[in-house]
Amino acid sequence: MPNKPKCPSCHSAMTPQRLASVAGGEVELDLCFACRGIWFDPLENLKLTPAALVTLFRLLHDHRNDAVSPLAHRLTCPRCRKPLGQGFDVVKSGRYITYRCTQRHGRFSTFASFMIEKGFVRQLSGQEIDDMARRVGVINCSSCGAPVDLRKDHACPHCRSALSLLDPQAVEQALKGYAVAVQQTGQLSIPDLADALVMVERDRVKAEREAKAQRGSLFTTAEGQSRADLWAAGVALVWQILN
Ligand SMILES: [Zn+2]
Ligand SMILES: [Zn+2]
Ligand SMILES: [Zn+2]
């Protein structure tokens, strides 16, 4: 198998991660944290073991405050460089975008799409959306990165994905049997979603400020463009049950 794919969106080298699959053996997935996407070679559409899932969430949590760039309008296959075809799949927990190589070299999923596919998200209720609209206004679509003004839209106007959130209960269910994860069963205290968003945004701004201080603080770009981030809030909520 050819090595080191470049990200279909930003063309940077992707980060390889070996994970155990329930079929036995390991698969190597390639991730881009700036684009929040995963490249799957053919047949890597695997079922991860609970331990592998914890590893993956740890990785996503470690990178939740990484700078994010919106997906390019055209994504290219890291193997043949041809444009990836965009499509939609629908599962019980929602609808998500897929990007597949027409030459069957594999596919690219955003982290958010992957979690919908695996049933780890739930859609937001109308009340949660109203609450967030009052408190945070605009969020970024977890599937495509486009801004969603919650005062006007209840789904992404660009890719039409429903607003969804990583569901700590669904993740916990998937981790049943994995010793670390289930100690707290029944005692989950999940903070209010808008609170979580505000908390995550505060963390992100703080991390950004610290990074800036380390660089010498001459750069002031990107600040003030911050937007509430449902993905990072979901990862933070899931992380609470893994610790
Ligand atoms: Zn990328
Ligand atoms: Zn290809
Ligand atoms: Zn979208």
pLDDT digits (tens, 9 = 90+) for 49-96: 888 888 888 899 889 888 888 888 899 999 999 999 988 888 776 778
**Angle between helical axes of 193-215 and 230-242 (0-180°, round to 10):** 100
Point out the ligand nearest to the CA of residue 7.
1
Which DSSP string corresponds to 148-178?
A: EETTT-SB-TTT-PBPEEE-HHHHHHHTTT-
Question: What residues sit around ligand 1, an ion, with C-beta below 5 angstroms?
Answer: 7, 9-10, 32, 34-35
Question: According to DSSP H, which parts of the chain are helical?
Answer: 50-62, 111-117, 126-135, 168-174, 193-215, 230-242
pLDDT (0 to 100) of residue 32: 96
How does pLDDT run across 10-60, given as a tens digit for each residue?
Answer: 999 999 999 988 888 888 899 999 999 999 988 765 678 888 888 888 899
154 CA from centroid of ligand 3 (Å): 11
3-state SS class at 96: strand
Tell me the ligand closest to 71's alpha carbon. 1
CA of 110 to the centre of ligand 1 (A): 10
**CA-based nearest residue to 102, from 83, 121, 127, 125:** 83
Residue 99 pLDDT class (50, 70, 90 cuts)? very high
Give the Å distance between the CA of 74 and the centre of ligand 1.
12
Q: How far, in Å, are 35, 42, 49, 52, 237 from residue 21 at the CA level?
A: 24, 14, 5, 7, 25
Complex prediction ipTM: 0.91
Choice between 27 and 220, residue whose per-residue pLDDT is larger = 27
Q: Which of 34-38, 196-200, 233-237 has the lowest mean pLDDT?
A: 196-200
Burial status of residue 183 (CB atoms within 10 A of its CB: 0-12, 13-18, 19 or more): exposed
